[in-house]
Amino acid sequence: MSDILKAPVYEGRPKLGEGRLEKEIRTYDLLDRLAISYLRLDHEAMPTIEACRDVDKRLQIHICKNLFLCNSGKTDFYLLLMPGEKKFHTREVSSQLGVSRLSFAPEEKLEELLDLTPGSVTVLGLMNDSAQRVKLLMDRELLQEPYMGCHPCINTSSIRLSTRDVLEKFLPAVNHMPVFLDLSA
């Protein structure tokens, strides 16, 4: 049995900020200010969706893929949230958006626009996009889930949020509303 499956799950932010990155603390500050409750699980770095499977079991959520994309000219940027078990089909997303040649955006743009690093891509990174350069895309299927799991801008913790709180509190507070897509399995 994985150590993660036995790890404690906490309600809310860590008691002490020691050893936590400033961007993680800012995330908790915003969630607290918006009165969004959440469960938190601390763990070793989880850079891939496969590595997060035990985390999701422990938090009782379904895996959500978070992909940072751009157009071919690297002028338009997108954060795509989709169920973890679905495969990403570039052509399908491009077609629904009316954009040609979507690809993964460069790491430096991820850091510049969302203050995130690879492996810690999260919807919560939109709090760092005050210029609103990143468009949020969500697979409509995610609306069927009561909870979403994500990193608090760093991949050494994971949190469980109410999908409703993300849509009704967090996204309006950071001025990002999703474009819903219907993605195939």
With a cut of 60, say whether residue 124 has pLDDT above it.
yes
d(C-alpha 168, C-alpha 150), whole Å: 17
125-156 tens-digit pLDDT: 999 999 999 999 999 999 999 999 999 999 99
Which residues does residue 138 pair with via DSSP β-bridges, in sequence order?
A: 81, 180
The mean pLDDT value for 70-95 works out to: 94
Q: How is residue 110 annotated by DSSP?
A: H
With a cut of 80, say whether residue 88 has pLDDT above it.
yes
Q: Residue 26: enclosing H or E segment and its boundaries? A: helix 22-33
With a cut of 90, say whether residue 15 has pLDDT above it.
no
Domain interval for residue 50: 4-181
Phi-psi label, residue 143: left if phi above 0, alpha if psi -120 to 50, beta otherwise: alpha
In the chain, % of residues over pLDDT 70: 98
pLDDT of residue 63: 79
Q: For the chain, what is the domain count?
A: 1
pLDDT of residue 103: 94
Nearest Cα to Cα of residue 167 among 152, 183, 178: 178
- Identify the band that residue 185 occupies on the pLDDT scale cut at 50, 70 and 90: confident
CATH code of the domain covering residue 112: 3.90.960.10
